A and B are shown apart, each in its own frame.
Chain A
Amino acid sequence: MAAAGLTETAAGAVTITITAEADLIRVRQVLRAEAQRAGLGLVDQTKLITAGSELARNIVTYATGSRGRVLVEQVGAGGRRGVRARFSDGGPGIADIDAALTDGFSTTGSLGLGLPGAGRLADEMTVESASSGTTVVITKWAR
């Protein structure tokens, strides 16, 4: 975990700094490692990694300076284990969250599947957005 832009906190959470598209690979690698650690099956691993790739790409595409952070951690509840990933950036924020959560809505000519698709692939997703920044949190549980 000595790679640049990647730190492991005392609590075991991994933080990845995003500054460019090439950082998406690191996001996918960390999510895969954490998903395996939590005991997620192959399909759930793939769904989590893909959802994370979409959300990290949103940071690169939409966030000011393409900059943001991803925090990945193990979670547990009621005997279940899972992985939680928090994607945050410093703005400019999502003007219309309801629209952004709708399939096919895009301000950049993409397929418009990133946010709604990530929501379908994750077990839980929350989106908070203001002009100061956007935070999307997804959780995937082992079955």
Chain B
Amino acid sequence: MSDMVPIMQVGDTLLVSLQGDLDDATVIGIEEHLTSEVARRGAAGTLIDVSGLTVVDSFIARVLARVVGMIRLLGSEAAIVGIQPAVAITLVELGVPMAGLNTALNAEQGMALLRRLRSDGSRRPD
């Protein structure tokens, strides 16, 4: 699983890019691998780039929200970046609750968001 989803490190931030059509087992594998890597590498923040996902159903959305929650529980920060407009429209209509999630348009703005979250010290309520 880990070789399918390379985790890049930029300074103290991890960047993982999800691509293609993911089955549930792969998504769960990424969740576990990413959470472990945040702890192992002592990352201050993580960006999960989903711009390569053309479909996000309620299961994948739930796992994405869950992994952000897990990383925050470790004391780090995470954000989802690059949600495709068609995916955003679909998720809202599907009714997936993602309002409490940190999101940004792209990786660059995601980095800025992570910096803000860290310097703030304050956290959004879930």
The answer, yes or no, to whether A111 is at the interface (CB within 8 Å) is yes
Residues of B within 8 A of A43 (CB): 85-86, 89-90
Chain B residue at minimum C-beta to C-beta distance from A45: B86
Residues of A within 8 A of B97 (CB): 111
The answer, yes or no, to whether B120 is at the interface (CB within 8 Å) is no
Instruction: Tell me if A57 and B23 are in contact (CB < 8 A).
Output: no
Cβ 8 A contact of B62, one of A49, A111, A120:
A111
- What residues of chain B have their CB less than 8 Å away from a CB belonging to chain A? 21, 23-25, 54-59, 62, 84-87, 89-90, 93-97
Instruction: Tell me if A54 and B23 are in contact (CB < 8 A).
Output: no
Instruction: Tell me if A114 and B58 are in contact (CB < 8 A).
Output: yes
Cβ 8 A contact of B95, one of A25, A28, A29, A103:
A103
Instruction: Tell me if A121 and B23 are in contact (CB < 8 A).
Output: no
- What residues of chain A have their CB less than 8 Å away from a CB belonging to chain B? 21-22, 24-25, 28-29, 32, 42-43, 45-47, 49-50, 53-54, 57, 103, 110-111, 113-114, 116-117, 120-121
Cβ 8 A contact of A117, one of B24, B62, B87, B94:
B94
Q: Taking A46-B55, A47-B93, A111-B96 as given, write out 18 further A-B residue pairs in contact, using a Cβ cutoff of 8 Å, ordered by the A residue number.
A: A21-B23, A28-B55, A43-B85, A46-B89, A46-B90, A49-B54, A50-B56, A53-B55, A53-B57, A54-B57, A54-B58, A111-B62, A111-B95, A111-B97, A113-B95, A117-B58, A121-B90, A121-B94
Instruction: Tell me if B90 and A57 are in contact (CB < 8 A).
Output: no
Is the contact region of chain B dominated by helix, strand, or loop, or is it mixed?
helix
Q: How far is the CB of B5 from chain A (nearest CB, A)?
A: 16
Residues of B within 8 A of A50 (CB): 55-57, 90, 94
Chain B residue at minimum C-beta to C-beta distance from A118: B94
Q: How far is the CB of B94 from chain A (nearest CB, A)?
A: 4
Closest 9 CB pairs of A and B: A117-B94, A46-B86, A53-B57, A43-B86, A113-B58, A46-B90, A50-B90, A113-B95, A49-B55
Residues of B within 8 A of A121 (CB): 90, 93-94
Instruction: Tell me if B23 and A24 are in contact (CB < 8 A).
Output: yes
A-B contact pairs, 10 of them (CB 8 A): A22-B25, A24-B24, A29-B21, A46-B54, A47-B90, A116-B95, A117-B58, A117-B93, A117-B96, A121-B90
Residues of A within 8 A of B96 (CB): 111, 113, 117
Chain A residue at minimum C-beta to C-beta distance from B59: A57
